[in-house]
A and B are shown apart, each in its own frame.
Chain A
């Protein structure tokens, strides 16, 4: 869901959302079983390829989305690089102890975080929430009262953001200070959060009463406005990953770019 930039529709948009979610969950689990840096780098590039060219957004937008990735890479890898276990010392200064093992492990973690971020963004950029919840209802039998509540709540996001601005402006008009001590900051957070939360609860309650009156919580067999099924693109999506993962195995075995060791620490 991204309302700021609207890209083209691509084949990734046409994949069944439940299947897409299931696939990237499997890829997540697969990624945390990778302990070889070479394979991790190869797998990251498989995802990168799809992220760069698959989402239907221009490269400029994709680069813009990727800006936080640099921070993620640095922040995820740094504490492991600086404080991880290891034997072969590269650098030591006070508490900081960089070893070859911790360096490799840190970089590995950085790539892992990058992969998860890209997978998540691929999903978010190519999936309409409404289609996702319709698909969850039809394919995974999610009870309709949950699905419709989710859809209603997502529709309320813009209203909540608008209300947030209204409350803040009202506070500004009344002379609320911007800076201050931590205690004052907490008070100001409260002054913002309480009206925002209480109004949201009241609104949600009103909507829920209306939805119950219209039998949205009915457990009888429903009909659906949107029918979400499977297409050939689902098959292409699955084969892409199966094929490319097989390729990355081969590639990382025959052309290891980096030291080929298990990044986990072992005592032997």
Chain B
């Protein structure tokens, strides 16, 4: 087996992510439409922006995919002229790195709800660090900040964990994931018979 991602892995990851990029572009207006409500309801849907990484990883199951997916999704959103501007690209890189880190902690051997939820929470931490510098969230009153962080974490688990896993389960049923996943031990054993 060769190291690194093959062109097929890269292209499939990027295409999935650009699809998410289009979704993110639509998600933006929804996000800032609910934001002025003030009580951080918007943070519940923030997790959508972490979803590309875990969905792509669950489909392709290779190292580096989560990071590439998050970068591709954010650059897609950026090049389509996102209202958030350059911010999306830099947040994307940071969130991708954090998601990749969480997945790498399990040595790319586990593809279940727990791992992707942790990857989501990790992305969430990355975005919070960015917000701390960019959005001065440390200067919110304590109760408000707690609410902000709690809602964002709940949203992350919901989107990157539950939704991503159920989406990929449905995709597995269509058989399309067999195209792109590395061949497993069972596949080789099947050849030996």
A interface vs B, CB < 8 Å? 1-2, 24-25, 28, 32, 65, 68-69, 71-72, 74-76, 78-80, 82-85, 96-97, 102, 105, 109, 112-113, 115-121, 123-125, 127, 129, 132, 145-146, 149-150, 152-154, 156-157, 160-161, 190, 193-194, 196-198, 200-205, 207-209, 211-212, 216-217, 263-265
Contact = CB atoms under 8 A, between A and B. Distances in A.
Given A24-B86, A150-B72, A145 B10 contact: yes
A217 B10 CA distance: 10
A214 to B, nearest CB: 10
B104 interface: no
A116 B14 contact: no
A263 B134 CA distance: 12
Contact of A116 (B40, B87, B167): B87
B12 A205 contact: yes
B46 to A, nearest CB: 13
A261 B166 CA distance: 50
B182 interface: no
A190 B144 CA distance: 34
Interface of B: 6-8, 10-12, 14-19, 22, 29, 32-33, 35-36, 38, 40, 42, 59, 68, 72, 75-76, 78-88, 90, 133-136, 138-141, 144, 166-167, 170-171, 174, 176-177, 179-180
Most A CB contacts (10 A, CB to CB) among B29, B32, B166 go to B32
Given A200-B15, A202-B176, A28 B167 contact: no
B148 to A, nearest CB: 8
Given A109-B136, A198-B171, A264-B136, A153 B85 contact: no
A203 B15 contact: yes
17 contacts: A72-B83, A75-B33, A84-B140, A84-B141, A120-B81, A120-B85, A129-B79, A153-B15, A156-B18, A190-B167, A200-B15, A201-B16, A204-B14, A205-B179, A212-B7, A217-B7, A263-B136
Given A79-B35, A85-B139, A153-B72, A197 B8 contact: no
Given A129-B79, A194-B167, 15 more contacts: A28-B86, A68-B29, A72-B84, A78-B38, A79-B40, A120-B81, A145-B10, A150-B72, A152-B15, A153-B72, A201-B16, A204-B12, A205-B8, A216-B7, A265-B136
B174 A105 contact: no
Which of A32, A65, A112, A149 neighbours the largest number of chain B CB atoms within 10 Å of its CB?
A: A149
A149 B18 contact: no
B7 A211 contact: yes
A75 B76 CA distance: 23
A208 to B, nearest CB: 4
A202 B10 CA distance: 14
A2 B81 contact: yes
B186 to A, nearest CB: 21
A68 B28 CA distance: 10
A68 to B, nearest CB: 5
Contact of B86 (A25, A71, A85): A25
A150 to B, nearest CB: 6
Contact of A78 (B22, B29, B36): B36
B26 to A, nearest CB: 11
B170 A194 contact: yes
